[in-house]
Amino acid sequence: MNAIPLDAFDIVSASVLVLLSAALSLALQLGLQRQLLIATARMIVQLTLVGLVLKTLFALVSPWWTGLTALLMVLFAGQEITARQERRLKGPWSYGLGTACMLLAASLVTVFALTAQVRPDPWYDPRYTLPLLGMILGNTMTGISLGLQTLTNGLVRDRAAVEAQLMLGETRWQALRPAVRSALRSALMPIINSMAATGLVALPGMMTGQILAGAEPMAAVKYQMLIMFLIAGGTTLGAISAVLGGVWRLTDARHRLRLDRLR
């Protein structure tokens, strides 16, 4: 059994729901209709371009093109992390910290999945590599964004308490431990909630897509479990490295709080 094909009319008719949402926003004076329509237009253009690019990459099966595409995905995701920060680090740290941690976490987890569980031939086959990386990357990006934002906001809010502990002789890691815990809780809570609700409350996108494409339900379930494990691992690794990197940057070797390194 193959997936039921969709034509242009099917897509256009479904888009009426977005127009209805925009109309409701206008009627209720929410002020979101313009953002909603712009986001919809961006999604259409981006997905169309991605579809064309993936079609070409699937035909090439080149490690160089696959690697380049994966790198571009990470770089764009890094820009999203930067854009979501209320208080950004100064200089190249603003973009570099989140991007580097995301590259480390997502690439390690993706390569682990490709070589240990999925095992395509060749292992860098873009048909498997890019979808896996995309799912891991999106959730890792969210975790890192939340972790860094919670850390910086918490340090600005509790500056006096942190500096008092530092003056009493605690190290920077001891004084900032509550802020680190709070940041990591915020970073990991979305994936924890997602895992807790998966199955009974919600059917995730990958599992639903496989079932609609004709896969056996239990085969789709196994793949979804694998994806959730990978996402949890990638998010945890990325969030921890980013938050600890943020602590290291916002303090110095003399155990002083350096909020002057924030914009």
Nearest to 107 by CA among 134, 85, 146, 79: 134
Per-position pLDDT tens, the chain of length 263: 566 788 889 999 999 999 999 999 999 988 888 999 999 999 999 999 989 998 999 898 899 999 999 999 999 999 999 988 889 999 999 999 999 999 999 999 999 999 999 999 899 999 999 999 999 999 999 999 999 999 999 999 999 999 999 999 899 999 999 999 999 999 999 999 988 888 777 777 777 778 877 778 888 888 889 999 999 999 999 999 999 999 999 999 898 999 999 98
CA end-to-end distance (rounded Å), the chain: 55
Contact 234, 136 (CB under 8 A): yes
Distance of CA 193 to the CA centre of its chain: 15
Whole-model pTM: value is: 0.86
- How far apart are alpha carbons 192 and 51 in whole angstroms? 31
Contact 191, 227 (CB under 8 A): no
